[in-house]
Amino acid sequence: MVDVSVANYHQSTDPMIEMRRVHRFFGKTKAVNDISFEVYRGQVFGFIGPNGAGKTTSMRILSTLELPSYGDAIVDGFSVINDPDLVRRRLGFMPDGFSMYPNMNCVEYLDFFARAYGLLGKDRMSALRRTLSFTGLDKIASKPITGLSKGMRQRLCLGRAMIHSPAVLILDEPANGLDPRARIELRQMIQQLAVEGTTILVSSHILTELAEMCDQVGIVERGQLLATGSVAEIQRRLQGSTWVQLVAIRQGEQLEAWLTVKPKVSQIARTENKLSFQFDGGSEEQAELLKAIVNADFLISEFAARQETLEDVFMKITTGAVQ
């Protein structure tokens, strides 16, 4: 496991989410196998892994819907084992799918959950106004929930999770099935909640979006946490390759053949005269490579090195194994 420490500005306070050597077994299947990590106030933590990796089970444990077979999970200082009622008051859970009750409109649906959390009188009305406004549902508050679009249903589910102003939000695949605009708007709402101090753990298969919104990520496979930290921190710890992209004026095919035999060059891909490849050398060695390309009489109009993306890191760390 690659273990990267959390940014210093978070270490002055206690973590809002702690997974302490959590295990969850279903017969011989180790759905969660010795997972530990911490998330601090105002952070967005991205939980990444293939289907069956243990993400949802971990989230259900944090949400008090599953008990760990071993270990403990702490939310805002309270154990999911010893203090589940106190955890539920401090946490909001947005599952991958949720039930829609018939003959209810948006405000009635949210009001039901506000009452379930014990909000009364002015506090309940204030929570409803705040939630409807924040999610943008105030304009369709009286619309039946069975007639909502996928994007509006996700907003309603987020509103249900945040109606009681929880300190921690657990979001399981919140952008699943959304169109691009709805995904962007949902991401903006998540980021705004984090700015206001809410701690958020979110899982998603859309890695580019997680890279944009998350302070830290955790990569999990077959129930085990393989790496934690920011994408840049994980990449530095892995000491991985740099992706180089270049554009030749012509002779793209000949340049590809020339690069194939060069040391530290791998995974070459070419589209006409545009090439990309992994390079294991540092910045000085990149400069030497470019000099050698030019001296070999190839005309280059673009040459750029980029850091590996979250998708690159994910593919490097995971193997695609399932259980």
Residue 171 burial (CB < 10 Å; 0-12/13-18/19+)? buried
Please give the Cα distance from 214 to 201 (Å, whole number). 9
7: DSSP letter: P
Residue 316 burial (CB < 10 Å; 0-12/13-18/19+)? middle
Which amino acid type is present at position 118? Answer: G
- Residues in CB range of 151: below 8 A, 6 or more apart: 178, 179, 181, 182, 185, 186
User: Chain-wide mean pLDDT for the chain?
Assistant: 89
Residue 50 burial (CB < 10 Å; 0-12/13-18/19+)? middle
The structure tokens listed for 127 are 């929570």
pTM of the model: 0.77
Residue 10 predicted with pLDDT over 50 = no
- Bridge partners (DSSP) listed for residue 309: none
**Where along the chain do the CATH 3.40.50.300 domains lie?**
2-236
- Helix residue ranges per DSSP H, the chain: 55-62, 84-90, 106-116, 121-135, 150-162, 180-195, 207-213, 231-238, 252-260, 283-295, 310-317
The pLDDT of 68-81, averaged and rounded, is 97
Higher pLDDT, 311 or 131: 131
The answer to whether residues 192 and 184 touch, using CB atoms and an 8 Å cutoff, is no
Please give the Cα distance from 155 to 182 (Å, whole number). 9
Of the listed ranges 55-59, 82-86, 236-240, 267-271, the one predicted with least confidence? 236-240
**CATH fold for domain 2-236:** Rossmann fold (3.40.50)
The answer to whether residues 35 and 19 touch, using CB atoms and an 8 Å cutoff, is yes
Sign of CA dihedral 204, 59, 223, 197: positive
**Where along the chain do the CATH 3.30.70.100 domains lie?**
241-307
The structure tokens listed for 128 are 């409803």
The structure tokens listed for 205 are 């298969």
Q: What angle do CA 184, 205, 160 make, to 5 degrees?
A: 60
pLDDT of residue 306: 75
The pLDDT of 2-28, averaged and rounded, is 73
**At which residue do the structure tokens 């299947």 appear?**
29
Q: How confident is the model at residue 11 (pLDDT cuts 50, 70, 90)?
A: very low
**CATH fold for domain 241-307:** Alpha-Beta Plaits (3.30.70)
Among 156, 155, 151, residue whose Cα is nearest residue 189: 155
Of the listed ranges 5-9, 105-109, 254-258, the one predicted with least confidence? 5-9
Give φ, ψ of 219 to 5 degrees.
-105, 120
Of the listed ranges 128-132, 172-176, 203-207, 310-314, the one predicted with least confidence? 310-314
The pLDDT of 297-311, averaged and rounded, is 85
Count CB neighbours of 133 within 10 A.
11
